[in-house]
Each structure stands twice: as structure tokens, then as C-alpha cells.
Homo-oligomer: A and B are copies of this chain.
Amino acid sequence: MLKMKVQDMTIEYTTTPKEKPDLSTLVFGKTFTDHMFVMDYEEGKGWHDARIVPYGDMTISPAAMVFHYGQTVFEGLKAYKNEAGEITLFRPDENMKRLNASNDRLCMPHVDGEFVIDAMKKLIAIEKDWVPAKAGMALYVRPVMFATEAYLGVAPSKKYRFLILLSPVGAYYKEGINPVKIAVEGEYVRAVKGGTGAAKTAGNYASSLKAQEVAEANGYSQVLWLDGREHKYIEEVGAMNVFFKINGEIVTPALNGSILPGITRKSVVQLLTHWGENVVERQLSIDELIEAANNGQLEEAFGTGTAAVISPIGELFYNGQKIVVNEGEIGTLAQKVYDTITGIQFGTVEDPFDWRVQVATT
């Protein structure tokens, strides 16, 4: 199969551009830009018909396998515009690696990561006026790929569609960084070793909604998942990995096959290591965490993910017990990590790791 080139891609511009939204009141994930990237896959033919078209509804068979057997993977990253009008992406190659790892688990074909990044850059360049030029704001980039063959047999689909959607996002923290309250989930399970937990696939999110609903009804904003085998080891939060500073050591659960390998997580580990901090990826039981908290050794807790970058955890609820972390305030470590990563993303802090990838200049 031929290597796809971004120069060969067809581009159809919209004739009815939308008005840009008011970023101060914008709700995440409901507004999309004027264009999207599309390509299709067919067994024997490979990926083909790469194109940028006006954002809008598409036509699909009601028997498309995605509706029935759920072969679908996605990614999430952000494009940032600094005050000089420079637009960059944060580690998009990592998203491509994870996308193809997800594809392997779901028996879906690989994409050519280099080509997809080129297509993504081209799409973002076309939509450059949609990228907010303010620290904390960004253009969210959602690559998504799903099975389109019209077939009710349980087998890998022979056809797929790949899309990139763009959605502008306002500031995650509107009034300073607010620590969140998290409920440790004792009944429901997100994933288990041997399952799909390490893949970014739709089913993991569908299965998480019930516990999230229960947590919210109890006044908690998100769920901290325990492992599916023993309900004992800490895994991750809804859409974030987690870090705990316990008696000077910074612990994050090791990638064991059921946790999503977050790119923010990886970046935080690299950064902490670079700073000479004592950071370890290992198994961490909820009992050890509770004990540390009771002994006054739990210094900080925070989640990491593309959406918030760093989300300090101010309170944990487990088995009827409330654990307040760092008096419900953001810790100095979380603050430093947040400032550094968002600074690198926004281009105001030096980038010793070459994490920023140039997209365009407006």
C-alpha cells in the first residue's frame, strides 16, 4: 500500500463558516470548528480518500459494526497558541503510539502516525483562528476511529473510518485551581488485567458511567478505581492517572495492563525525575494510602490528564471515611508541576524535552 502524503489530500472548504464562540462561557465538547479530517480503510485497499471537509453529519449504515460490537478507539490532545501567535501540539507522537496500541488490542488496523500528525497540523492550520491565544485555553483535538462494515457477525470489521474533530476549550480552571473530591469505588470496576483497560476505547468509558453517577449523587466529582481482581490496588481516576506524595516519595500506580498509559502521567514522571525527585511507579493499595493519610504522611494527591493537566485531590472518600489531603489545598509539588507543564505547552517555559511540536504561525 502506498504511503499517504498530506499533499495528496483533498480539501473542501466550508462556504458557511460559523461564528467563533464566547470562550468565557463555552461548555467543553459541544462546539466544533468548520472542518474535519476524514479517511477510510478497507481490507486489501488500506487507508484511502484522506480529505478535509466541512464539519457536519455523515452517512453510515445502521448495521455498521461500531453500533453493535464496539470496535472504536480514540485519542485526545490539545493545540495551544501563544502570545506570538505560534500554534503547537504537545507530544502528538505519543498519542499516535497509544492509538496504534489501542488498535492492536481491538483488532483494528494501524494508522500511519506521521501522516496523521501531518494531516492534523494541516487541519489545525486551516482552523488557526479557532485556537484561543490565551494561557489555559486551547483547541481540543479528537482523533477517533471506528468500524463501518455493515455486518452482524462477531469478528473484526473489514472497514473503518478515521476522523479528526476539533473543539475549542475555555479555561479548565476559571477561578484558580480547585482541588476535587473523589470517591473510591468499591463496587463497580472499570477494567481488569486481560481486558481493555490500557486501550483508549469506547467501552471503558461506557462502563464507567454508572459509578460516576453514584459518586456525583453523593457529592463527589469523580471516581477513583480499584483493580478488578482484588478491589485493593489503586488504578486511576475517571479520565486521569493519579499521583500521591507519601512521606517524601511520589508514587503513581505502575502500568499493569488495566490502566490507561496517560501522556500527562508519562510527562510528569519524566519531569519529576529530571528534577531529581523520588518518583516511583509501583503497586499501591488503598489500605497503604489510608494508613499513610491517618499517619499524616499523605502530603499531596493529584490527577494528571490532558483536560486539566494537573487536578489536585482535596478529599478522598472510602468505605465511609473522609480523607482530607493537604487541608483541601493544592500542594506545592502539584502547583510546580502544573506551572511547568502548562508553561511548556503555552511556550512561556523552556522545553528541555522537545515536547512541543510546531503547527503553524498566525
Which positions in A face B, CB cutoff 8 Å? Answer: 27-30, 32, 36, 55, 57-63, 66-72, 74, 105-107, 140, 142, 144, 146, 150-156, 163, 165, 167, 187-196, 201-210, 212-213, 228-231, 238-239
Residues on B with C-beta less than 8 A from A74 are 67-68
Residues on B with C-beta less than 8 A from A59 are 57-59
Chain B nearest CB from A182 CB (Å) reads: 15
Q: How far is the CA of A172 from the CA of B44 in the complex (A)?
A: 29
Residues on B with C-beta less than 8 A from A165 are 62-63, 152
Q: How far is the CA of A165 from the CA of B63 in the complex (A)?
A: 8
From A28, A55, A70, A107, name the one whose CB has the most chain B CB atoms within 10 angstroms: A70
Whether A206 contacts B106 in the complex (CB less than 8 A), given A189-B192, A192-B228, comes out as yes
Q: How far is the CA of A279 from the CA of B55 in the complex (A)?
A: 57
Residues on B with C-beta less than 8 A from A69 are 202, 205-206, 209
The answer to whether B205 touches A202, judged by C-beta atoms less than 8 angstroms apart, is no
- The 6 closest A-B CB pairs, nearest first, are A203-B203, A70-B202, A29-B152, A189-B194, A70-B206, A69-B205
Q: How far is the CA of A119 from the CA of B54 in the complex (A)?
A: 37
| Chain multiplicity (copies) | 2
The answer to whether A71 touches B209, judged by C-beta atoms less than 8 angstroms apart, is yes
Residues on B with C-beta less than 8 A from A32 are 63, 150
Whether A196 contacts B192 in the complex (CB less than 8 A), given A154-B239, A201-B70, comes out as no
The answer to whether A156 touches B207, judged by C-beta atoms less than 8 angstroms apart, is no
**Beyond A32-B63, A187-B194, 12 extra complex contacts between A and B, CB < 8 Å:** A30-B152, A62-B165, A66-B66, A67-B72, A68-B144, A70-B70, A105-B210, A154-B208, A156-B209, A194-B231, A196-B203, A202-B206
The answer to whether B62 touches A209, judged by C-beta atoms less than 8 angstroms apart, is no
- Pairs across A and B, CB under 8 Å, 20 listed: A27-B153, A30-B150, A30-B153, A32-B63, A57-B62, A63-B165, A66-B67, A67-B202, A69-B205, A69-B209, A70-B203, A70-B205, A107-B213, A140-B152, A152-B165, A188-B195, A189-B193, A190-B195, A195-B195, A201-B207
Among candidates B55, B58, B153, B203, residue contacting A207 with C-beta atoms closer than 8 Å: B203
Among candidates B30, B36, B68, B192, residue contacting A202 with C-beta atoms closer than 8 Å: B68
